[in-house]
Amino acid sequence: AQSVTQLGSHVSVSEGALVLLRCNYSSSVPPYLFWYVQYPNQGLQLLLKYTSAATLVKGINGFEAEFKKSETSFHLTKPSAHMSDAAEYFCAVRPFSGGYNKLIFGAGTRLAVHP
Amino acid sequence: NAGVTQTPKFRILKIGQSMTLQCTQDMNHNYMYWYRQDPGMGLKLIYYSVGAGITDKGEVPNGYNVSRSTTEDFPLRLELAAPSQTSVYFCASSPGPSNPTSSYNEQFFGPGTRLTVL
């Protein structure tokens, strides 16, 4: 069965520092990959997606992620953290097969940004 | 467009009570989903629907039921609430792929319902 692993349930960075949130997936066939963000007491919002067009994907709010097939990774980065980036981030994979647009989510990484 | 709306926002139930979590989307999406979110566990799929009149089980369906009589609505029913069902519940929808082998579709999420069973 396919799975998604997010390394680090909590990440803390200083404002202005690099943000790196790690995501690895298990799949023999490159799937579609997503990063979602959840702000406190809100639903999930799509940050960016990989759908096999380009390996470096740019999303909203200055985030980007790079798909690396050899490492089965899809890490999320942002060059300079802002206080408003504090949230929980979920990596998700859509298996290549499956007709109902199934998503498998990682456990999430909570990002804290301190002054 | 309101997107995906869920009611209620919060609810406290006693063990054995029943309730229905409401979910409505106004984007004319074919696919709808119910997830539960537990701390440190990510989101687990409870049930999904690929269109009106069609529903199927996800990863964690026990203790829940769903129906899909219209494209817009996808209510989730808890018949005999148990403490293990304390969670945050999210409804989501997506358009459904026009070409299952080559297209993807983002899921749009509602704001969630926080349920506590005591």
Q: Tell me: the pLDDT tens digits for B76-90?
A: 999 999 999 999 999
In 3-state terms, what secondary structure has residue A16? coil
Determine the Cα–Cα distance for residues B103 and A49; give it in Å rounded to an integer. 12
* C-alpha–C-alpha distance, residues A29 and B86, integer Å: 36
Residue type, A16: G
pLDDT score, position B104: 55
CB contacts, 8 Å: A103 with chain B? 43, 45, 107
- Please report which confidence band the pLDDT of residue B103 belongs to, taking 50, 70 and 90 as the band edges: very low
Q: What is the predicted pLDDT for the residue at A100?
A: 64
Write out pLDDT tens, residues B20-59: 999 999 988 889 999 999 987 889 999 999 899 999 999 9
pLDDT of residue A55: 86
- The minimal CB distance from A108 to the residues B42, B45, B92 is found for B42
Taking the Cβ of residue B2 and every Cβ of chain A, the question of whether any pair is shorter than 8 Å is answered with no
* A62 pLDDT more than 90: yes
State whether residue A70 is helix, strand or coil: helix
Task: Summarize pLDDT for A64-112 with one digit per residue, the tens.
Answer: 999 998 899 999 999 999 999 999 999 998 876 665 677 889 999 999 9
Contact call for residues B43 and A90 (beta carbons, < 8 A): yes
Q: Does B21 touch chain A (CB under 8 A)?
A: no
Dist CA B22 CA B90 (whole Å) = 10
The mean predicted confidence, pLDDT, of chain B is: 90
- Cα–Cα distance list, A87 to A78, B44, B59 (Å): 14, 19, 26
Give the residue from B24, B108, B13 showing the smallest Cα distance to B63.
Answer: B13
Q: How many CA atoms lie within 13 A of A92 on its CB side?
A: 27
- Mapped to the 3 state alphabet, what secondary structure does B50-109 carry? EECCEEEECCCCCCEEECCCCCCECCEEECCCCHHHCEEEEEEEECCCCCCCCCCCCCEE
| pLDDT, tens digit, 9 for 90 and up, residues A9-21 | 999 999 999 999 9
What is the DSSP track for A45-94? EEEEEE-SS-SEEE-GGG-EEEEEGGGTEEEEEESS--GGG-EEEEEEEE
What pLDDT is stored for residue A37 in this prediction? 96
Distance, in Å, from the CA atom of A15 to the CA atom of A11, rounded to the nearest integer, reads 13
Does residue A28 have a pLDDT over 90?
no
d(CA B72, CA A1): 31
Q: Kindly state the average pLDDT of the residues B96-116.
A: 74
> Which of A13-27, A37-51, A98-112, B100-114 has the highest average model confidence (pLDDT)?
A13-27
CB atoms within 10 A of CB A43: 20
Whole-number Å distance between alpha carbons of A97 and A94? 8
Give CA B38 to chain center in angstroms: 14
* pLDDT confidence tier of residue A32, bands split at 50, 70 and 90: confident
Q: What is the pLDDT of residue B83?
A: 95
B34 shares contact with chain A (CB less than 8 Å):
no
Per-residue model confidence (pLDDT) at position A112: 97
- Nearest-angstrom CA–CA distance, B97 and B93: 12
Predicted confidence at residue B99, as pLDDT, reads 46
Contact flag B109-A100 (C-beta cutoff 8 Å): no
Check if the beta carbon of residue B113 is closer than 8 Å to that of residue B6.
Answer: yes
Mean per-residue pLDDT, B100-106: 54
Binning pLDDT at 50, 70 and 90, where does residue B17 land?
very high
**One-letter amino acid for residue B37 of the chain:** Q
